[in-house]
Amino acid sequence: MVVSPFTAKTHVSRAMIKLGARDRAQLVVLAYESGLVEPRPRGGEGRGEGPAPGR
């Protein structure tokens, strides 16, 4: 599946409006606070190890 940069920007912009977020950083905070994402444990885990649990 391919999503154009314009489509991604549109989705982010609409999420910001719906959630009342000032910027993308606040969207990240809201995602953590709502439990949508969980922090990764610190340590030897690198990036790109596959999808997040539940995906």
pTM recorded for the entire structure: 0.62
Greater model confidence, 40 or 26: 26
> Is residue 45 a part of any domain in this protein?
no
Cβ-contact 31, 21 below 8 angstroms: no
> Is residue 29 a part of any domain in this protein?
yes
> Is residue 23 a part of any domain in this protein?
yes
Residue-level pLDDT at 43:
80
> Is residue 50 a part of any domain in this protein?
no
pLDDT tens digits, 9-39: 999 999 999 999 999 999 999 999 999 999 9
> Is residue 30 a part of any domain in this protein?
yes
d(CA 43, CA 49): 14
Using the predicted structure, report yes or no on whether residue 55 has a pLDDT greater than 80.
no
Using the predicted structure, report yes or no on whether residue 50 has a pLDDT greater than 80.
no
* Domains identified in the chain, total number: 1
- State which residues form the domain around 21: 5-34
Instruction: Give the Å distances, CA to CA, from 53 to 31, 37, 39.
Output: 15, 10, 12
Cβ-contact 53, 41 below 8 angstroms: no
> Is residue 53 a part of any domain in this protein?
no
